[in-house]
Structure formats: structure tokens, C-alpha cells
Amino acid sequence: MKLPVPLKASNGLFLFLIFLLLLGFSASAFDGAAGRPEGGGVLTVRLEGTITAMSHELVAEALAYAEGKGETVVLLIDTPGGMMDATFKIVELIERSSVPVVGYVHPAGGKAWSAGTYILMATHVAAMSPHTIIGSCQPVSFDPLGGGSKPVEDSKVVNAMEKYLVERAKAHGRNEETARRFITENLNLDVDEALEAGVIEVKAESLGELLEKIDGMQVEVGGRALTLKTAGVPVEEWNPSFRVKILGFISEPMVAYLLLIVGLYGLIFGLASPGVGGEVLGAFLLILGLIGLGVTGANLGAIILMIVGLVLLLAELLTPGFGIMGGTGFACVFIGSFLLFPGGWTVESEWLNMLYTVLMVVPLAVGGFFVFAAYKVVEARRRKPFQAGVVGEEAEAEGEITPEKGGFVRFKGELWKAGSRVKIAGGSRVKIVGKEGPTLIVEPVEERG
């Protein structure tokens, strides 16, 4: 019985991988060939909730877009804090940006605690809405046995963080002593106190008022003195890509932690009880948890997801039914394909629409192919085996058949080697009672009448 499906599936997967590589190279080529900034305009980016790996990806793709169009970026900050690593990466993005970045604690009643203050101090212009608060920058660590968070008292860490924040304030001419107190005393300031202390430049009740007040202000961006032109210019709100929305969900600390724990226990259970599918789902959830916690990073995690997905889809072809491995493999490829490509591009929107269409159609098409291929494999495996199909049928002896030498029978027009426990005369009707390799085991058919 021929089973060419796995080979075809392997060829299809190889072509799919080549397609993704070519797509990545073409995207890089478009990115490098894009035009220079068109100039003008303001891009607002909402930096809300806990600062996670998603926050870094959000700012990265928004800045890439703004740099392509020469727009001023306004970060609308309202956060209780977040991950230190993600915060450092966002600060690095701001400091390496080629366009001005304005930090605005907004709306009224919002806050920029801890990580939010670090980000605000790194922006070229710092502003706050009425009744907003900044401060409380002492680093904390997660302490599950102690009931949650625990302040970091290690002088090595505290001194390093203090110097880091002071240098951000110093770079933009802000009050260094107040910046130091944000960490050493967990100082908190409202908008009027922050303005008086010299850690922000602008108080504004709305985005429109902010843009009017900072218009004409001079800032230093990448070693160049720039004059802000924000009054009366088009204002665009950044809409996160589907990639960032996925990261936003799995990067929430509670979600990421649950994915990690459930995935780990699922993997252990699956390895202890193979065949149930726990190891497959466990590995999938574990990878998502690592991506959400920022351990692997979005791009590396996406590559791992796609490799695992392709392996699972191949393994599905070797097992009956399109079940847990096939479904999980498809999910890995589908999610990995979105996480693999960054959301910020400097190309035409039509090309980006085509790219995201491809990212949706290709996994669905490949998934459909594997459903069809798996169905064919199952169909082939459910066919009645040849041995079971011939047992009980009758044939005709071609010459004499003896227990010592055997003989031959003609079955449905084909000549088969035959064996028998008794002597059978040539031309007699025989009944097939078994099959040993290429030899049919026969016995004489009793005479009727």
C-alpha cells in the first residue's frame, strides 16, 4: 500500500519555509527603500496599564511609523509601573529616536508611577494633566511567599537605578535632586508640585492645549536642535497592530504567569502519560508564557512557535485523526506568523495590507492542506487489509499442491504461490484460509451435492 502523503507534506512545508524567508527579505528591502519623512503631524500613542513586553513593541512600531513620516510622537501615559527590562528598552527607543517624543501623563486623575516616571523623564518634553501623579520609583521584586511585592533594599541596585533616573533628568535639564528623591524617598508629586520642582515643562488640561503650549519649543533630538511644530497640525492616533494586540494579551502578568504554570504542569503530565496530548498543549502554553514574560522576546518566540508548529503538523500526518497535535500545530504557525514580523514599517499602507492578508491566508491554506492530507492518511489506514480481504475467498489450483513442495493457485486472474497441509489435485477448487507473506494458505473445497 502506497502512502505518499507524508513526503508531499514535507515538500509543502519546505516550500512554505522558503516562502516565509523570501517574504522576510522582501520586507527588509521595502523597509530600506522607503522614502524619507514627509514632515509635519502628531502621532499619539496610548501607553496604559502595566508596562510589559507588549508596551515596548507598541512604542517600537509607533516610533518606526512616526520616523517614516517625520511626525512628533506624544506618549499618553497612564500606568502604575511594570517590568524593568521593558522600561529600559522603551527609554532606549526614545533616546535613539530621530523624532521628538513628548511624554504626557493623561487623562486627569491618571498616574505615571515607577516605570511611568522613568519613561516620562526620558522624553524630550514632559507634561502632565491636572490631578495626575508621578513618582514612587523604588524598584520592587516579586515575593510570592511574602504576599506580593517586596521593595529592593540592595544598595547596589538602588544606587544604579537612582543614577539612571538622575541622568535621564539631567539630559533634559530637569531637577536632578527631585529625580533622586523619586527613588530614595518614593516621592510623589502632583502636576503643580512637579512643575514647581522642575521635573516637567508643561501643565495642560487637554491634548489640544498641550500641542499649543509646546509649539515653537526647542528640543535636542539625536544631537540636533529641533523646533517643535505642533499647533494646527494633523493629529493621528496610533492603532496597535494585531501582533501587538496578541502580545498585549499574553504579556499581562497574570495571564503570562498562568500560561507558564499551566504549560509547565501540562508538559509534565503529558510526559508522564504519553498519548493524552498534555505534552503538546503544555509546550504550546509554555512557549506563550515565556514570550509574555519577555524571556524569549517576540521574534525569537515566534520562530520557536513556528518550528514547533511545523513539527506537530508533520507528526499529525503519522498519527490517525486530525486531533490535538494538528490543531495545536496550526495554532503555533498562525500565532507565530503574526509575531514574527514587526508592526512598524515605512512602506505604503497597501503593501502592509497585502502582507497581513498573506499572514492570514497562508496559515489557513496550509492548515487546510494538512486537514486534507491527514484525512487521506486516516482513510488509507481504515481500508481493510489485503490479508483480511482474501481470507475466505476461493481460488483454483494450478497443478498439484503438496504439503512438501506447495504449488500455485489462480486467484482473480493472478497467479499466487500456495501452501497446504494436505495434497490437492490440479484444477481443484480451494479455499484461502490464511496468508504467510507472499504465500496463500489453502485447503480443498468440499464437494457439494
Q: Are 252 and 292 in contact, with CB atoms under 8 Å apart?
A: yes
Query: CA 377, CA 398: separation in Å to the nearest integer?
Result: 38
The one catalytic residue in 97, 114, 136, 420 is 114
Three-class DSSP category at 193: helix
Q: Report the length, in residues, of the chain.
A: 449
Nearest to 65 by CA among 340, 300, 348: 348
Three-class DSSP category at 353: helix
The one catalytic residue in 156, 384, 405, 412 is 156
- Specify the pairing of strand 235-237 against strand 42-48: parallel
Q: Are 75 and 103 in contact, with CB atoms under 8 Å apart?
A: yes
Residue 190 bridge partners (DSSP): 133
DSSP state of 79: B
DSSP state of 98: S
- Provide the phi-psi class of 79: left if phi over 0, else alpha when psi is between -120 and 50, else beta: beta
Q: Are 76 and 106 in contact, with CB atoms under 8 Å apart?
A: yes
Q: Indicate if 114 belongs to the active site.
A: yes
- 279 Cβ partners below 8 Å, 6+ apart? 266, 267, 269, 270, 271
- Specify the pairing of strand 72-78 against strand 42-48: parallel
CA 225 to chain centre: 39
Nearest to 181 by CA among 192, 172, 194, 191: 194
Crossing angle for the helix pair 298-317 and 349-381, nearest 10 degrees?
30
Block residue for cell numbers 514599517: 345
Q: Which residues have a catalytic role annotated?
A: 114, 156
